[in-house]
Amino acid sequence: MILSLGPGAQSLLPLVATSLVAVLAYLLAASRRQAGWIEAALAVGWLAHAAAIVVHTAGVGEAVPGARFGFAPALSATLWLVLAVYAVESRFVTLAGVRRSLALLGAAAVVLALLFPGELRPHAGSPWAPLHWVLGIASYGLFGAALLHAALLRRAERALRPGAAVGANGGAAAIPGTPLLRLEKLTFRFVAAGFVVLSATLLLGWWFSDAWRWDHKSVFSVLAWLVFAGLLAGRSAFGWRGRHATRWLYVGAALLLLAYAGSRFVLEVLLHRTVT
């Protein structure tokens, strides 16, 4: 359901203000070429994005105390976590050519969360439910970071092939200094961390829910867990790497995306149904 600006529009001012600052800062980061401008704009956008997430999910200004959750807030939080990983890691590892893309994705995620804020949940079914939701979003962010590294690794590998084109901005010319083995290790460290967090999320969902339901969310989540388990087992036992390994990562990430964000998108936006 899209946010409406009715009589209670003043309650939306904190959310709209923080979201607007985040979007403008991200767009500024995407449009600038000077490193100083980009870093400053990304920092402002990231902080404003964090404030928007807190205001949004905490239900600030709502008539009934509670928290909002939905596919768009989940994607917004995921992009924020990926940007946090990028901000920290870019200090130690060359991650060329991704700032503009991440800034644009961050801006799109903030706008999407404004348009589709999700459902307000006044009461959690279990005191463990908030931890379950936080862990679920954290697993999204960790696997999102793994996908980012896998994309960088794939691009770096292509750039090292004979006859690779040299680009002016973030092309092959920016890749040679990138440590490929380190990128690969980081990719699978994020996969392993995401797998641990996803396992804890599923365990909490099964253990503390009143009744485990094999709905779309549960089925896709378990399938994603099995794919990631197979990927980590294959890498440990058979040394999987390269395209074979990244295909498993892409399949698992797609299943995980369908598990919550995809299912919620269909129910909230296409079917207009209230979900739990």
Q: Are the beta carbons of 73 and 141 closer than 8 angstroms?
A: no
Helix 35-57 vs helix 13-31: crossing angle, to nearest 10: 160
Domain boundary among 102, 123, 144: 123
The confidence score (pLDDT) of residue 117 equals 81
Please indicate, yes or no, whether residues 143 and 193 belong to a single structural domain of this protein. Answer: yes
Please indicate, yes or no, whether residues 138 and 86 belong to a single structural domain of this protein. Answer: no
Please indicate, yes or no, whether residues 260 and 134 belong to a single structural domain of this protein. Answer: yes
Please indicate, yes or no, whether residues 204 and 221 belong to a single structural domain of this protein. Answer: yes
Whether 110 shows a pLDDT value over 90: the answer reads yes
The confidence score (pLDDT) of residue 39 equals 86
Please indicate, yes or no, whether residues 132 and 260 belong to a single structural domain of this protein. Answer: yes
Domain boundary among 63, 95, 123: 123
**What percent of the chain shows pLDDT beyond 90?**
39
What is the residue whose two structure tokens read 């980590």?
232
Beta-sheet strands, E only, within 142-182: none
Provide the whole-model pTM: 0.79
Question: Between residues 188 and 34, which one has the greater pLDDT?
Answer: 188
Domain boundary among 85, 107, 123: 123
Q: Which of 50-64, 151-165, 189-203, 208-222 has the lowest mean pLDDT?
A: 151-165
What's the structural domain count of the chain? Answer: 2
Structure tokens at 10: 């003043």
Please indicate, yes or no, whether residues 44 and 174 belong to a single structural domain of this protein. Answer: no
Domain containing residue 92: 1-123
Please indicate, yes or no, whether residues 114 and 142 belong to a single structural domain of this protein. Answer: no
Express each pLDDT in 123-182 by its tens digit. Answer: 555 556 667 788 889 999 999 999 998 988 888 777 776 655 544 444 444 444 457 788
Q: Are the beta carbons of 73 and 113 closer than 8 angstroms?
A: yes
Mean pLDDT of 216-236: 94
